Amino acid sequence: MEEKLRSKTIFEGKVITVTHDEVRLPDGNTALREVVLHRGGVGILAIEDGCILLVKQYRYPNGIDTLEIPAGKLEKGENPDEACFREFEEETNRRASSMNLIFKALPTPGYCSEVLYIYEAKDFKEVDDSLPQDEDEFINLIKMPLDEAYKKVLTSEIMDAKTIMAIQYAYINKDR
């Protein structure tokens, strides 16, 4: 195990904090670690009439439109078990009566502290009084047959990691 000796904050933003950490290695030597601190996020797998609910969204860092499961970052101090309901409603105009945590994932453990909590929405329906989308989000909801979504994973038309994991989970479990 590595022991943190010193930490210096390089950047503190709205979403991430970046630190340079000096650590002691198991052999007694020291090394530097660049760390991105992130509060984590939630993603929601939702199957409606044999179709998976996806959002199409432009992602600035990669300069492309992506297809993703509804998802979002945790607010400071927010519990993932509550955030999943909020994000699902904001992005799909649907309200779920329950959510089941299906897995947790570390998207980039080599340098980032982010933990993603992936839930499956249960007993949901479209509502007229849903929570509004974030002001800086411009997303389109897409219902796609699960088999088609799985094929888009295999052809790299869907590249978002949390979405790939959720689609594979749904595809493997579709007949259960």
What is the domain range of residue 80?
Answer: 42-102+119-172
Tokens of 90: 């904001």
Whether 19 and 52 map to the same domain: the answer is no
Whether 14 and 82 map to the same domain: the answer is no
Whether 48 and 90 map to the same domain: the answer is yes
Convert the pLDDT of each residue in 77-136 to its tens digit: 999 999 999 999 999 999 999 999 999 999 999 999 999 999 999 999 988 877 666 677
* pLDDT, position 128: 85
135 labelled catalytic: yes
Residue 59 pairs with which residues in a beta bridge? 64
Residue 109 lies in a domain: no
pLDDT at 169 over 90: yes
Whether 81 and 46 map to the same domain: the answer is yes
Residue 32 lies in a domain: yes
Q: Is 162 helix (H, G, I), strand (E, B) or coil?
A: helix
Whether 97 and 49 map to the same domain: the answer is yes
Q: What is the CATH number of the domain that holds 129?
A: 3.90.79.10
Whether 52 and 31 map to the same domain: the answer is no
Q: How confident is the model at residue 175 (pLDDT cuts 50, 70, 90)?
A: confident
Whether 34 and 48 map to the same domain: the answer is no
* DSSP result, 50-93: TEEEEEEEEETTTTEEEEE-SEEEPPTT--HHHHHHHHHHHHHS
Whether 136 and 73 map to the same domain: the answer is yes
Residue 164 lies in a domain: yes
Convert the pLDDT of each residue in 21-75 to its tens digit: 999 999 999 999 999 999 999 999 999 999 999 999 999 999 999 999 999 999 9
Q: How confident is the model at residue 176 (pLDDT cuts 50, 70, 90)?
A: confident
Residue 125 lies in a domain: yes
Residue 110 lies in a domain: no
Residue 72 lies in a domain: yes
Spot the catalytic one: 87, 90, 135, 157. Answer: 135
Whether 51 and 17 map to the same domain: the answer is no
* pLDDT, position 131: 65
Spatial contact of 35 and 18, defined as CB atoms under 8 Å apart: yes
Whether 84 and 128 map to the same domain: the answer is yes
Whether 126 and 68 map to the same domain: the answer is yes
Residue 111 lies in a domain: no
Total domains in the chain come to 2
Residue 107 lies in a domain: no
Whether 8 and 87 map to the same domain: the answer is no
Q: What DSSP state is assigned to residue 176?
A: -
